[in-house]
């Protein structure tokens, strides 16, 4: 760990050096090397330091900057480097004493101030390098969203996506070069006429409106959200299964026999820090899981194509495991031996053979057995009657 930081990450607004603190001015004055994007470098006056333009893609510049370790270096970033900015990327490569950050107001703060939106009640996200589908779980009437975008063309792309999702009437606040002399704010609807001269840097404020499908907050979302070939844990059983799995922030799920991916996707909806791995032997279903996850805003779902238990080798240890199909004595033995103490295991059985297997394991390992019997009303002649589904036996246990 260095006694004094060799790297200073200076947040820069569109007003250039005018908005910088005395500490930032001093860092620029003392720097041997100033590294930043072409746009950032152009905002500064002539410097005594050597200037290095940050390459595209961003990742290519990390090793270049690290090669200057030990010299006085300033890295230029937009606004607050730790609010959807580059600072968090660099901090992963450095010890705490090697760097310091000197932020200015973030794009989100400037946008909220310009629109009069209470920032604590607004979803803030970065879409400059992420799929628009990440917004899917957050689309509901009257929601407010602030997001960074890649460039002016991305505004039209985002508008088209909102229209496809059924939220064309949403108001878009197009925010250009906030905080600088080129600042401009214009409004349009996603399904209306958009400006053709949108300048970078650009962010967007969305006031959601329209009749698109809204994803409910409770577990057991509608089956129609998940494209499937019939291999899906149906909504009521899924709700009971997620309740037994009990996702908590930061936890990792193994979903063995992923089917449509509905269990893993709902696990990931529970909290932005949750993680999940779906294991599916059928390649077509594995592809469908990936497509469902991407379309529903959780492309962080890791999908492994292969047969359990072999496909479990090398996976990060789970905090919870769901076995939804293909239960066997061998699978239970290997899964049980693979998981750490305290891991929660939930298994659903439909066949008599699988039910007996779970009953035997529950007798030996403990936990709870739940028999799920459901019936739905169906036409019966001119009247109605009950049609029962196959009963399901669910074993839930903590190792």
For residue 8, is pLDDT > 50? Answer: yes
Locate 117 and state its tokens: 């939106």
Specify whether the CB–CB gap between 8 and 31 falls below 8 A.
yes
For residue 1, is pLDDT > 60? Answer: no
Encode pLDDT of 143-168 as tens digits.
Answer: 999 999 999 999 999 999 999 999 99
Encode pLDDT of 359-381 as tens digits.
Answer: 999 999 999 999 999 999 999 99
* Mean pLDDT value across the chain: 94
Share of the chain above pLDDT 90, in %: 89
Encode pLDDT of 257-310 as tens digits.
Answer: 999 999 999 999 999 999 999 999 999 999 999 999 999 999 999 999 998 878
Q: What is the pTM of this model?
A: 0.89
CATH topology for the 108-207 domain? 3.30.950
Specify whether the CB–CB gap between 399 and 345 falls below 8 A.
yes
Rounded Cα–Cα distance for residues 127 and 9 (Å)? 22
Specify whether the CB–CB gap between 394 and 242 falls below 8 A.
no
Predicted confidence at residue 248, as pLDDT, reads: 97
CATH topology for the 7-104 domain? Cobalt-precorrin-4 Transmethylase; domain 1 (3.40.1010)
- Give the ranges where the chain is alpha helix by DSSP (H): 22-30, 38-43, 60-66, 87-91, 107-115, 152-164, 235-245, 262-269, 283-295, 329-338, 352-365
DSSP readout, 28-89? HHH-SEEEE-HHHHHHS---SSEEEEPPSSTTHHHHHHHTTTTS-EEEEEESSTTSSSSHHH
Which residues are CB-contacts of 397 (< 8 A; sequence separation ≥ 6)?
344, 345, 362, 365, 366, 367, 368
Rounded Cα–Cα distance for residues 210 and 384 (Å)? 36
Where exactly does CATH 3.40.50.150 map onto the chain? 223-398
Query: What's the Cα-to-Cα distance from 227 to each of 136, 261, 285, 370, rounded to whole Å?
Result: 15, 9, 10, 28
Predicted confidence at residue 103, as pLDDT, reads: 95
Locate 194 and state its tokens: 């958009």
Locate 230 and state its tokens: 């019939």
- In 3-state terms the chain splits into helix, strand, coil percentages (rounded to 5) of 30, 25, 45
Specify whether the CB–CB gap between 317 and 344 falls below 8 A.
no
Predicted confidence at residue 124, as pLDDT, reads: 96
The CATH number of the structural domain formed by 223-398 is: 3.40.50.150
Where exactly does CATH 3.40.1010.10 map onto the chain? 7-104
């Amino acid at each position: 760990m260095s006694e004094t930081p060799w790297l200073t990450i200076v947040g820069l607004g569109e007003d250039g050096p005018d908005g910088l603190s005395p500490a930032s001015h001093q860092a620029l004055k003392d720097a041997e090397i100033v590294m930043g994007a072409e746009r950032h470098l152009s905002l500064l006056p002539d410097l005594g330091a050597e200037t290095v333009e940050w390459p595209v893609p961003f990742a290519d510049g990390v090793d270049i900057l690290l090669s200057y370790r030990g010299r006085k270096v300033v890295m230029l970033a937009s606004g607050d480097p730790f609010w959807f900015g580059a600072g968090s990327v660099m901090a992963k490569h450095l010890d705490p004493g090697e760097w310091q950050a000197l932020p200015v107001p973030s794009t989100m703060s400037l946008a909220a101030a310009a629109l009069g939106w209470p920032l604590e009640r607004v979803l803030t996200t970065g879409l400059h390098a992420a799929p628009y589908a990440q917004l899917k779980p957050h689309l509901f009437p009257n929601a407010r969203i602030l997001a960074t975008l890649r460039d002016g063309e991305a505004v039209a792309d985002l508008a088209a996506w909102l229209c496809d999702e059924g939220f064309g009437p949403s108001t878009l606040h197009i925010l250009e070069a906030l905080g600088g002399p080129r600042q401009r704010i214009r409004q349009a609807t996603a399904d209306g006429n958009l400006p053709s001269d949108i300048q970078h840097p650009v962010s967007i404020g969305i006031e959601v409106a329209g009749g698109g499908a809204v994803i409910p907050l409770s577990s057991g979302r509608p089956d129609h959200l998940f494209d499937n070939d019939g291999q899906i844990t149906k909504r009521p059983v899924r709700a009971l299964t997620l309740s037994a799995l009990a996702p908590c922030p930061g936890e990792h799920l193994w979903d063995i026999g992923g089917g449509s991916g509905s269990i893993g996707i709902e696990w990931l909806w529970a909290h932005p820090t949750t993680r999940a791995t779906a294991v599916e032997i059928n390649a077509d279903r594995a592809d469908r899981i990936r497509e469902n996850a991407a379309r529903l805003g959780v492309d962080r779902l890791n999908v492994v194509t292969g047969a359990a238990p072999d496909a479990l080798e090398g996976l990060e240890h789970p905090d919870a495991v769901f076995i939804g199909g293909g239960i066997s004595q061998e699978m239970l033995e290997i899964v049980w031996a693979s998981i750490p103490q305290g891991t929660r295991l939930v298994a659903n059985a439909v066949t008599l053979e699988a039910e007996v297997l779970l009953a035997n394991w529950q007798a030996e390992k403990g936990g709870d057995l739940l028999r799920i019997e459901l019936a739905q009303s169906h036409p019966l002649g001119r009247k109605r009657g009950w049609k029962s589904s196959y009963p399901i036996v669910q074993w839930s246990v903590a190792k």
